Structure 1
């Protein structure tokens, strides 16, 4: 095991990455107890060296995957940061509570509503500025609307999701769903059973949780944020670029982290105190 680790640490120096990244990756390899992860790093190194130096695009893809894993997963994982960000904690601490108060839109209520009634789904699809408040109002109208603290967390969760939904183009080809749970009618035009409604709500809450925590998580590790900001800006210690020019190296990092973002809390206060919305900052602004 130690022999493999020593060999990996020696081989890492051959990667055309910034010196700050190589130092971080070396620390990670030296400290990790995960054998699968060490094997993964070894395979990545082998794959990279198997690619001819003339095929820069393929090299970029291999290095991009490694960079994203290092900064956005391994060193940004919530186990390393001790806990989920406060506004996402209810996904783990009170998932059933979120399911109970999650905004929903019944097709039966739409059928019975007046002509021209604005639907929640339409508000989200058209990026209506009132979509967030409409969703929160729909949740608050629920008889089991939960306690004040949980409702505040719901607003923050939806605010976070709205930032991603309204800026989908910044995250490549990802197509996000509307966060509102749609409750359809059965073939007879009647409400579906409560158990089916509960399943639809659980799936929707689970989907939003997966997006915010696993698929498109914000970069929360302040050390990673500062390090990447310096690298992308061309600041900090000199890069160890190998066969890559400094310009090619910056291009690699900009491509790799084009869809990465950080969250900044706004000064907006809710009725019950606490920040209820966020501002999104892309790590690589266009």
Structure 2
């Protein structure tokens, strides 16, 4: 059974207001204050920094929020089990992995599984948020995540490459990264693992997104590939995403000097999840 003080703390964080949390919970503001104070006294930690005018969680407050959300999600799952309700299996995946890497490995397993199932496709940042909130049970992701919060298994390592039309002026040459600046760059939305990889690379070099002649943000990989064929724009994607188009001589990998990036794709779930052993077995079964 979840302590009401935990539920109060979650609402205070989500509303970033004691007053709004009190209204939502139908209790008084002093009662909300007492709940937070009781939690801080119990754990001997400061969870909310009251020295600033704006609402700010401490590092320990962030840990408590994630812990509380996980506990409530587990409590809901337990209640469903007690009531003999078969919960849905909600699997998350980033767009690149969902479209080009996992359909063949999860299809049979999903059909054989007697549980109701839902597959949620979103960027890495959104999936991390959904995992913490209990909206997604497990997920295939690219990019960074908190290894202290999640258990993880390597799906595969994949090359990250620059791509353009087969007729692009820079095709079939050895080029410098600076030569790319003269052309538009098609880039995924913020929060995308693919975009994070490119931005992290640029942060470690002298290069910058702002130097490209034009930035075009596109959320669809299929749209990016089709638009590349009709323009002189470039993009950065995993090699598997454009494998067929390169084979069909519609797109080409650009050969950039000193540009060699390989990144992992992972299957993750909360360490504290009550079904973590099942997710581990699920991954092992899917990847045999």
Q: TM-score w.r.t. structure 2 length?
A: 0.27
Greater strand percent: which structure? 2
